Structures are given as C-alpha cells and as structure tokens.
C-alpha cells in the first residue's frame, strides 16, 4: 500500500496517510438537564486495511463515535477526516454524498426493508443519489457473491435466517464499494454459531483489503480484529 520516491540511489517508501484521522474530537449532548459530554477528546488514526474493534462499557460513546465517523452526526468539535474528506462543517448535501460513497454501515438489527427483495435491499443505496452507478445489477450480484448469497436475490427478508439477513445488510453496505465498513454490534442479534459465520465474512473482506471498524462485545470479533481500542471516560485509552 506504499508508493515510492527516489532519494539519491535509494528508493524509500512514502507512507500513505491514514484512512481515518480523528483529533481532539468532542461530542456533547444536552439531555434537558444540561450538557453531557460523551466524547471528551478522542484521538485516533486508522490505516487503510486495518480491522479495528472498538469496545467499552455501555454508554461509553461507541455508537456516538461511529455515527460521527460515518457522517450521521455532524454536531461535533475537532478534526475528523475519512478517506481524505474532512467532515467538520460539511453541508448536509456533502455529508449525504460522503455517506453514500465512502462508508458502508452495518447495524445490529439489520435494517432491511421487509417488502423489498434481497436484491432490491442491496441496491437501495443507488436510490439515495440522483445519478447512481450505471451498473446497479452487476454491483448487487457482486456484493451478494461476496457474502455467499448470490442465489437468494429474489427472496424477501422474511424468508431468510438471521445470519442471512445480516449478510444481506453487509452486501448492501458493500454496494457502493466503500473505503471503510462501520459496524455497530453486527453480531449482537445472532446466536454464537451464526455470529461465527458473520465474523468469518468480515475476516475475508478485510483480507481483501477492506478497512473495518466494528463496535462489539463479541469475543470472536475482537479476536478477528488487528487492533482493539477501548473507549473510556470519553477517550480512546488503548
Ligand atoms: N441523541 C442523544 N441525546 C442525548 N444523549 C445521548 C444521545 N445519544 C446518546 N446519548 C448519550 O450518550 C452516551 C453514549 O451513548 P452511545 O449510544 O454512544 O453509547 P454506547 O457506547 O454505544 O453504548 P451501548 O454499548 O449500550 O450501545 C449515553 O449516555 C447516551 O445516553
Ligand atoms: Mg451503542
């Protein structure tokens, strides 16, 4: 993943900038009784190709951090740069474009649309942009093949197991060919054996070069990650 430059006779590697850079990130909510600081100065870098597991007790701000990273929450202070895009102060339109093109989301509860087929669910991101990619069908097929569901395109979500539903959600997240996959408790609604299958898919996607940041309580997912970070008292402590 490194380019090279000439220096005298030696060819030295030029390191690529990190895919994600967070500096002094703060996010404060107002719960009616006053300001509640949740993120209190998060500093973090993630390099392209990493698989990062984010852990921490309930309420420590893991989902909040993921929402900021994915452009779902812009009411933060500090520096957040993802795939070369600085998210601070972006317009709603620019943020929507960033979400649609640069990141894929996978949530605990799948978020599939019941009346749409598997293929239509995977193609959903195409409907969020005015133009969309020209090769929608090929992308749907490619994304479903990557999670081993190419033969289930015409099914409805109700006709799938929990693990298959989450694989459809992963395929949908892959549709736009994002730089990074952001996952919030992606195995939280699955039994242990099914969760193991999902973790295997994340491993394979990461081995293909996809950068993954996953919030998780799941030991197997932590073990699959190349780095485990803990959120505590509003900061990343390891
Ligand atoms: N929109 C909001 N308004 C006010 N407070 C909020 C809001 N969203 C989150 N919080 C608070 O911020 C804190 C962190 O929430 P967050 O959802 O990020 O935690 P988490 O680490 O993901 O927890 P869990 O493991 O239970 O999912 C919590 O105290 C929560 O109540
Ligand atoms: Mg959460």
Question: Residue 172 in contact with residue 100, Cβ under 8 Å?
Answer: no
Give pLDDT tens digits for 80-128: 999 999 999 999 999 999 999 999 999 999 999 999 999 999 999 988 8
CA distances to 47, 66, 73, 129 from 227, in Å: 11, 16, 25, 34
User: Residues 166-179, buried b or exposed e (16+ Cβ, 10 A)?
Assistant: bbbbbbbbbbbebb
State pLDDT tens for residues 118-149. Answer: 999 999 998 887 777 789 999 999 999 999 99
Domains of the chain: 16-231 (3.40.50.300)
The tokens of 149 are what? 């569901």
User: Phi and psi for 214 in degrees, rounded to 5?
Assistant: -125, 120
Is the pLDDT at 200 greater than 80, yes or no? Answer: yes
CA of 59 to the centre of ligand 1 (A): 5
Q: What is the reported pTM?
A: 0.92
Strand partners, 10: 7
Pocket test for ligand 1, best of 53, 64, 216, 231 (most atoms within 8 A of CB): 64
User: Is residue 118 classed exposed, middle or buried when 0-12, 13-18 and 19+ CB atoms within 10 A define those classes?
Assistant: buried
**At which residue do the structure tokens 């409805």 appear?**
156
Closest to 224 in 3D by CA, of 50, 43, 35? 50
CA dist 105 and 17 (Å) reads: 23
Site to substitute for ligand 1 among 32, 37, 38, 214, most atoms within 8 A of C-beta: 38
Answer with the residue of higher pLDDT: 126 or 153: 153
């Amino acid at each position: 993943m490194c380019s090279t430059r000439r220096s005298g006779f030696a060819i030295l590697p030029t390191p690529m900038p990190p895919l994600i850079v967070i500096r002094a990130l703060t996010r404060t909510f107002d719960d009616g009784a006053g300001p509640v600081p949740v993120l209190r100065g998060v500093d973090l870098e993630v390099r392209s190709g990493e698989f990062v597991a984010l852990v921490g007790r309930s309420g420590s701000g893991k989902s909040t951090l993921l929402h900021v990273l994915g452009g779902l929450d812009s009411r933060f202070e500090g520096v957040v740069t993802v795939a070369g895009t600085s998210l601070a102060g972006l317009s709603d339109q620019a943020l929507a474009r960033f979400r649609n093109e640069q990141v894929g989301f996978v949530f605990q509860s799948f978020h599939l649309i019941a009346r749409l087929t598997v293929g239509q669910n995977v193609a959903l991101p195409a409907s969020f942009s005015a133009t969309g990619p020209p090769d929608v069908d090929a992308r749907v097929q490619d994304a479903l093949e990557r999670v081993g569901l190419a033969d289930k395109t015409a099914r409805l979500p109700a006709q799938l197991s929990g693990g298959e539903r989450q694989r459809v959600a992963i395929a949908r997240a892959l549709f736009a060919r994002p730089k990074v996959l952001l996952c919030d408790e992606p195995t939280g609604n699955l039994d242990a054996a099914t969760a193991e299958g999902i973790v295997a898919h994340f491993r394979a996607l990461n081995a293909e070069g996809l950068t993954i940041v996953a919030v998780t309580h799941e030991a197997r997912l932590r073990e699959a990650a190349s780095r485990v970070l803990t959120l505590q008292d509003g900061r990343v402590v390891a």
